[in-house]
Amino acid sequence: MRVGIQSISKNFGAAAALRDVSLGIEPHELFFLLGPSGCGKTTLLRLIAGFHAPDSGQLFFDDKPMFGVPPHRRNTGMVFQNYALWPHMTVAENVAYGLDVRSVPSEEKKRRVGEALEIVRMSAYSGRTPNQLSGGQQQRVALARALVIRPDVLLLDEPLSNLDAKLRLEMREEIRRIHAETRITTIYVTHDQKEALSLADRIAVMQDGRIEQVGDPRRLYREPASRFVADFMGETNWFSAEVSRNSGGGVVFNTEIGTFVGANGTGSFSPGQRIMLGFRPEAVEFGVAGENSIQTTIADVSYLGDVEQYGLKVASGRVVKAFERNPTDIRQAGTQLVVHVRPENLLILPEK
């Protein structure tokens, strides 16, 4: 099922929740709506489900207009943030609820409930009630309840936000597996960029009711269209820079911490043009002088096990953040350190 969103706007009183949003979500995609609280992602999901009506715009499932179609006739399955399981019903009864509403015959209902529980690996728990399950198990039941109706579109509203860190990682893998098995067009709302990066086919980053950028995870992370997208997808060290010249080796930029060279194909820039130049902490390479070298003094060190986090003071007095994966060397505050950033790891955006 393809989901087409055309120029949708939605206001709640004087507050604009969605502002002229257009998106195309392809059949079988695992598509993420990503952004901070209040950006409009859940409102958009609930519009797709039919729980809200837009002020303007159109929604299509394939070529069929959907606004005016009630939620129970859209054949969408929704998984809510709080699971929304009936506490007095067993797991099997919770999963069967949507089939009861649709008056599915008893034998077919039993078979489909069994299939849905098998997909989420909860068959052994069919006779338990929700209060006898862990959070992760309850989330699986909520998924089974959404899947059992064989939806054309599966809608997930922050489904992992109530789980602890370890369970979130486990459920990410389960959602990936379930999507691969079912191939249902799935729209997933989250504020967690790690979830989105690890699971999504494509992501729409939202801010203030608008779409900032749409793309696959790697492109959004490495080629953000705006500083907001860059900063939301991960940490970035930013510097104001001026274009010095275009050379055979790439574009040369002057900054307060020295001269940097961007990779060939970085873009078309004119000498004197002001830009914002950035690099992510994990792009900083330690101990070997190379292109785009920076002379620093270690200001602070935080050991986090899999990564060591550094604050590196540069000549201007700025402190640059840097990460070292799988750290083995012990470096003390006050130590001089040369680091560098490869040209292909620079982020370059127009100065606004």
Query: Taking 80 as the threshold, does the pLDDT of residue 40 lie above it?
Result: yes
* pLDDT digits 0-9 by tens, 293-327: 999 999 999 999 999 999 999 988 999 999 999 98
Answer yes or no: pTM beyond 0.75: yes
Report the half-sphere exposure of 136 (CA within 13 A, side-chain side). Answer: 14
> Which position has the token pair 């203030």?
208
Helices within 106-223 (DSSP H only): 106-119, 135-147, 165-182, 193-199, 217-222
> What are the Cα distances from residue 98, in Å, to 22, 94, 151, 258?
30, 8, 11, 63
C-alpha torsion angle, residues 189, 199, 218, 2 (rounded to 10)? -60
Cα 204 from Cα 217, distance rounded (Å):
10
Cα 322 from Cα 119, distance rounded (Å):
42
Q: DSSP letter at 279?
A: E
Q: Closest by alpha carbon to 314, among 230, 236, 239?
A: 239
Please give the structure tokens belonging to residue 107: 């034998």
Report the pLDDT value the prediction gives residue 156, as an integer from 0 to 100.
Answer: 96
Q: SS3 letters for 45-62? A: HHHHHCCCCCCEEEEEEC
Please give the domain boundaries of the chain with CATH numbers for all domains.
3-231 (3.40.50.300), 235-350 (2.40.50.140)
Cα 116 from Cα 245, distance rounded (Å):
61
The shares of helix, strand and coil residues in the chain, as percent rounded to the nearest 5, are 30, 35, 35
Given a contact cutoff of 8 angstroms between Cβ atoms, the answer to whether 173 and 139 are in contact is: no
* pLDDT digits 0-9 by tens, 195-215: 999 999 999 999 999 999 999
Q: Which residues partner with 243 through β-bridges?
A: 253
Q: Which of these ranges, 61-75, 80-94, 183-197, 259-273, has the smallest mean pLDDT?
A: 259-273
DSSP strand pairing (30-34 vs 202-207): parallel
| Mean pLDDT of the chain, nearest integer | 93
User: Which stretch of DSSP H or E encloses residue 44?
Assistant: helix 41-49
Q: How confident is the model at residue 218 (pLDDT cuts 50, 70, 90)?
A: very high
Which residues does 142 contact at the CB level (< 8 Å), separation at least 6? 79, 80, 83, 84, 85, 159
Report the pLDDT value the prediction gives residue 82, as an integer from 0 to 100.
Answer: 85
Q: How confident is the model at residue 264 (pLDDT cuts 50, 70, 90)?
A: confident
Q: SS3 letters for 207-249? A: ECCEEEEEECHHHHHHCCCCHHHHHHHCCCEEEEEEEEEEECC
Given a contact cutoff of 8 angstroms between Cβ atoms, the answer to whether 5 and 59 are in contact is: yes
Task: For the beta carbon of residue 283, count every other beta carbon within 10 angstroms.
Answer: 21
Q: Helices 135-147 & 165-182, crossing angle to 10 degrees?
A: 20
